[in-house]
Amino acid sequence: MSDDLTDLVRDLERRFADLSLAHVTAWKAEAPGRKALGCMPVFCPREVLWAAGALPVFIRGGGDQLETIRGDAYYQSYICHLPRSTLELCLGGWLDALDGMLFPNTCDVIRNLSGLWSSVAPGRFSRFLDPPQTYDAPAAVGWWRGELSRLYLDVCAMTGTRPSDEALWASISAWEEPRGALAKLSRARAAQPWNLPADEVYLLRRAGDAMPPREFTRLVDCYLACAVARKARREDRIRVVLVGAFCEQPPLGLLRALERAGCYLVDDDLLLGAEDLVEPVDAVGDPLDALARAYLVKGAGSSVRYDEQRARGLELARRARSLHADGVVFAAPSFCDPALLDQPRLTRALDEAGVPYTAFKYSEDTGQFQSFREQAGTFSDSVKLWGRA
């Protein structure tokens, strides 16, 4: 690994490990009046926040670095871990760099968390975002535009920014850059996963959770240039797509365990939200209308979007084929209703398409990876022995 790449990855690791969001505090200190707004997975209207002068910051729980004690007191045992560690972060002052929080209607758990938030962070800006669940009704665009508009005006009032269409268009254009860079990263990873290991790619994408768009684009370009030049040896591993880990994140060690067990992760749905639109926003007409339309029509499919055409399973099978994946690994957080309720439908489509798969559950604070490694290793061996997709 070149010195540049070693340093870059070390920086990414440091940033990932910093739960106190020192990089956000530093960004705010660079100019008076800057604000930062946290957003829970899996949706954040970053263009709107950025146009209003606020840095969007995805909050994806405390991972395996935080002992959750007080956060546990708020939830029953049969709820996923993410809201507990997020409350722990808030109660422990780890989120003090943020000037508010957004809660998209990802699931009941996040919806309930938005209500709890007003008692643990009283007086701080907080907003529940409820995107429409139907996508082609004209009324859905109008309604969603109204929600985004209200949010824009409120955040502008908070930051002291004058609302304008120019600022919105500039922000929409700014966020297309990291989307383009991430698409390049995704293609490079699928083409040569031995040069772009899953843990590095993940750390890089996590950095984008709290970084201005241009800065993040430069970072991705820099990583890509170094990574494809490293000429790592290609190993006899199977190519897999990871599905279901879009909200509560698996520990980094789990991603490493999967690759060490004989898999190349060529695609995943981790960090959904930061990778939200599958096509650019149409830059015509009213910017908020264009954004609302883009979200509804061009939003990435996921288990938290109503699948009106019931096409998600077919789409997954198609995606696996187009990436020459040998199989699919379903990795869902324990008690995650959206991921686990979607799984039977997806596996049925994979069965019909003849794509092998395996499934397991994790928690963000899982500390032992041996069983995952054994399961992934067995899956890899069986695919090699008895046939690839």
Query: 60 or 189, CB closer to ligand SF4?
Result: 60
Q: Does 85 bind ligand SF4 (CB under 6 A)?
A: no
Angle between helices 138-159 and 287-298 (to 10 degrees): 120
The answer to whether residue 154 forms part of the interface with ligand SF4 (CB under 6 A) is no
Contact call for residue 247 and ligand SF4 (CB under 6 A): yes
Choice from 57, 95, 102, 107 touching ligand SF4 (CB under 6 A): 107
Please, which residue, 242 or 389, has the CB nearer to ligand SF4? 242
DSSP three-state, residue 160: coil
Rounded least distance, CB 305 to ligand SF4, Å = 12
Give the residue with the Cβ less far from ligand SF4, 242 or 266: 242
Give 306's contacts (C-beta < 8 A, 6+ positions apart): 133, 134, 135
Q: With helix as H, strand as E and coil as C, how does 126-189 read?
A: EEEECCCCCCCCHHHHHHHHHHHHHHHHHHHHHHCCCCCHHHHHHHHHHHHHHHHHHHHHHHHH
Rounded to the nearest angstrom, the gap between the alpha carbon of residue 4 and the centroid of all alpha carbons in its chain is 26
Minimum Å gap between C-beta 105 and ligand SF4 is 10
Half-sphere exposure of 190 (CA within 13 A, CB side): 18
Stretch that binds ligand SF4, among 158-166, 205-213, 317-325, 334-342 (CB under 6 A): 334-342
Contact between 257 and ligand SF4 per CB under 6 A: no
Nearer to ligand SF4, 28 or 84 (CB): 84
Per CB under 6 A, the segment of 2-10, 165-173, 236-244, 332-340 that binds ligand SF4 is 332-340
Which helix (DSSP H) or strand (DSSP E) does residue 29 occupy?
A: helix 22-29
Measured from the CB atom, the residue of 263 and 336 that comes closer to ligand SF4 is: 336
- Applying CB under 6 A, among 109, 201, 272, 274 the residue interacting with ligand SF4 is 109
CB closer to ligand SF4, 132 vs 338: 338
Interface pick for ligand SF4 out of 248, 268, 275, 365 (rule CB under 6 A):
248
Place of tokens 């293609």: 187
Contact flag: residue 80 with ligand SF4 (CB under 6 A): yes
Kindly report the backbone phi and psi dihedral angles of residue 256, in degrees, each rounded to the nearest multiple of 5, phi listed first. Answer: -65, -40
Phi (first) and psi of residue 327, to 5 degrees: -175, 180
Structure tokens at 21: 């969001």
Binding mask 6-45 for ligand SF4 (x = CB under 6 A): ----------------------------------------
**3-state SS track over 182-199:** HHHHHHHHHHCCCCCCHH
Judged by beta carbon, residue 251 or residue 333, the one nearer ligand SF4 is 333
Hey, which residues between 110 and 129 contact ligand SF4 (CB under 6 A)? 110
* 190 forms part of the interface with ligand SF4 (CB under 6 A): no
What type of residue is 113?
Answer: L
**Rounded Cα distance, 119 and 315, in Å:** 41
Q: Is 338 in the site for ligand SF4 (CB under 6 A)?
A: yes
Which of 60, 85, 88, 106 is in the footprint of ligand SF4 by CB under 6 A?
Answer: 106
Cβ 340 to ligand SF4, closest distance in Å?
8
Nearest approach, Cβ of residue 61 and ligand SF4 (Å): 9
Dihedral sign, CA of 229, 234, 239, 245? negative
252 CB contacts (<8 Å, ≥6 apart)? Answer: 16, 63, 64, 199, 202, 203
CB 332 within 8 A of CB 359: yes
* Nearest residue to 178 via CA among 62, 28, 305, 58: 58
End-to-end CA distance of the chain: 33
Q: How far is the CB of 147 from ligand SF4 (least distance, A)?
A: 20
243 binds ligand SF4, rule: CB under 6 A: no
Q: What is the distance between the alpha carbons of residues 96 and 94, in angstroms, rounded to a whole number? A: 6
Q: Does 337 bind ligand SF4 (CB under 6 A)?
A: yes
Q: Which residues of the chain form contacts with ligand SF4 (CB under 6 A)?
A: 80, 82, 106-107, 109-110, 247-248, 333, 336-339
